[in-house]
Amino acid sequence: FLEFFKELLENAEKSLNDMFVRTYGRLYMQNSELFKDLFVELKRYYVGGNVNLEEMLNEFWARLLERMFRLVNPQYHFTDEYLECVSKYTEQLKPFGDVPRKLKLQVTRAFVAARTFAQGLAVARDVVSKVSAVNPTPQGTRALLKMMYCPYCRGLVSVKPCYNYCFNVMRGCLANQGDLDAEWNIFMDSMLLVAERLEGPFNIESVMDPIDVKISDAIMNMQENSMQVSQKVFQGCGQPKTLAQGRTARSVSESGFSARFRPYNPEERPHTPVTDVKEKLKQAKKFWSSLPGNICNDEKMSVGTVNENECWNGSAKSRYEFAVTGNGLASQVNNPEVEVDITKPDMVIRRQIMALRVMTNKLKNAYSGNDVDFIDIS
């Protein structure tokens, strides 16, 4: 998943570079570091860098305005202080039209959702890994050994445990794991909601694929309105000094670039790994509460729901008479097969429940388009 987004950013950067070299030629080459910096910051954000996307994009447009302002006014000399004054007019004058506002909204939402979704996958992996390492209690181990090996001591070599007997043993052994289920399911629902955003309005591929066209449209808009923009800047920042004759910088219009771009259909919704991951997330719901059933449905573990009178019930080859207990720690107070201390929850699993809760809140924020802090669980 991470590799997909890295590749997506690299392809978008290459596409912009190729198009701008063809379109703007030397002018782009002289200012290419501005665009390289943009992609460096986007990559840094995605892998967990301390990047404020809105501030970074505002800075990009302010710097681009400074460069463009020089190019559309080649007859003037601009000091760094003057260009700093120019950049302050970016929001007020909207020299690039509505592109910066729209792109900022699209990029912020898409990157926040994509990064948070990737973090969610990492948290899910981490939770499963840590919970899988939790050792069974001595009482659980004893109950499991009794279920699996005591028939051999009675000469009942081919008799398998009764289905409901297996269920009670497994629910007792996995009592703490069962308590994960409620928070896990809420977390999965939040992941699926963000996945829907990534397939729809927050689709990062739909944002990044045409970014070269959008930035170029903004540059064109600046050129078309350069006279009005310049006049307003001169009024606010003062009249700049004219360059000595013969020292006039080459203007944008003299570069003779072609303004023909590849077409882009904004309605296209590219297929991303999110689509595949979504199906796996749906299957992962109720994972923890399903564990006892999944284990006992294995033909090596029990007879299943048939031959209920021809199975090992813990003491003989006969029907298992006890009721099946519910999921989770509290439900094991009357478990007939495993002695469970319901007053002592497993702390590793409790910490994972908290980790899921924290991540769920971040996913809800990402779903709403709000930026969230990065969680480093590496």
Reported as a single tens digit per residue, the pLDDT across 21-48 is 999 899 899 999 999 999 999 999 988 8
Helix runs in the chain, H state only: 2-24, 26-46, 53-72, 80-87, 90-93, 99-132, 138-153, 163-173, 175-178, 181-199, 204-208, 211-224, 226-237, 273-284, 287-296, 347-367
Q: Taking 50 as the threshold, does the pLDDT of residue 269 lie above it?
A: no
126 found inside a domain: no
pLDDT at 141: 94
* Contact indicator for 243, 150 with CB cutoff of 8 Å: no
Rounded distance between C-alpha atoms, residue 37 and residue 122, angstroms: 28
Q: Are 8 and 198 in contact (CB under 8 A)?
A: no
Please tell me whether residues 187 and 296 are part of one structural domain. yes
Cα dihedral 201→204→209→213 (10° resolution):
60
pLDDT surpassing 80 at residue 268: no
Same domain, 8 and 77: yes
Give first-to-last CA distance, the chain, whole Å. 16
For residue 269, tell me if it sits in a domain: no
**pLDDT at 261 exceeding the cut of 60:** no
**Do 245 and 297 reside in the same domain of the chain?**
no
User: Do the domain assignments include residue 337?
Assistant: yes
CB count, 10 Å around CB of 271? 9
Q: Identify which has the larger pLDDT, 167 or 372.
A: 167
- Percent pLDDT > 90 in the chain is 63
Which of 178, 142, 203, 150 lies closest to 312 in space, CA to CA? 150
- Of the two residues 258 and 82, the one the predictor is more confident about is 82
Residue 376 lies in a domain: no
Q: Do residue 150 and residue 56 come from a single domain?
A: no
314 shares a domain with 237: no
Q: Looking at the structure, tell me whether residues 306 and 281 fall in a common domain.
A: yes
Q: Which residue has the higher pLDDT, 144 or 275?
A: 144
pLDDT at 286: 94
Residue 128 lies inside a defined structural domain of this protein: no
For the CA atoms of 132, 134, 137, 141, the dihedral, rounded to the nearest 10 degrees, stands at 30
pTM: 0.82
> What share of the chain in percent tops pLDDT 70?
91
Instruction: For residues 307 and 224, state if they share a domain.
Output: no
More confident position, 304 or 343: 343
Residue 244: predicted pLDDT:
67
In a domain, 268, yes or no: no
Enumerate residues 6+ apart whose C-beta is below 8 A from 131.
Answer: 177, 180, 348, 349, 352
Is 288 in the same domain as 348?
A: yes
Confidence of residue 301 (pLDDT cuts 50, 70, 90): very high
Give the mean pLDDT of 303-312: 86
Encode pLDDT of 54-78 as tens digits: 999 999 999 999 999 998 998 988 9
Q: How many domains does the chain have?
A: 2
Which sign, positive or negative, has the C-alpha torsion 62, 64, 69, 75? positive
Structural domain of residue 42, as residue ranges? 2-97+211-263
Q: What is the pLDDT of residue 276?
A: 85
CA atoms within 13 A on the CB side of 282: 9
Integer angstrom CA distances of residue 177 from 139, 166, 291, 337, 350: 16, 16, 9, 17, 9
Token pair recorded at residue 179: 């308590």
As a whole number, mean pLDDT of residues 343-354 equals 95
> What does residue 269 show for φ and ψ, rounded to 5 degrees?
-125, 95
Give me the mean pLDDT over the 326-345 stretch.
Answer: 93
Same domain assignment for residues 41 and 177: no
Instruction: Tokens for 18, please give them.
Output: 């190729």
Same domain, 67 and 46: yes
178 and 238 in a single domain? The answer is no
Most confident of 201-210, 259-268, 317-326: 317-326
Q: Are residues 45 and 158 in the same domain?
A: no
Q: With respect to residue 373, please indicate whether it lies within any of the assigned structural domains.
A: no
Mean residue pLDDT across the chain? 88
- pLDDT tens digits, residue range 90-120? 888 889 999 999 999 999 999 999 999 999 9
User: 289-305: string of b/e by CB count within 10 Å (b at 16+)?
Assistant: bebbeebbeeeebbbbe
Does residue 270 form part of some domain? no
Reply yes or no on whether the pLDDT at 265 is more than 60: no
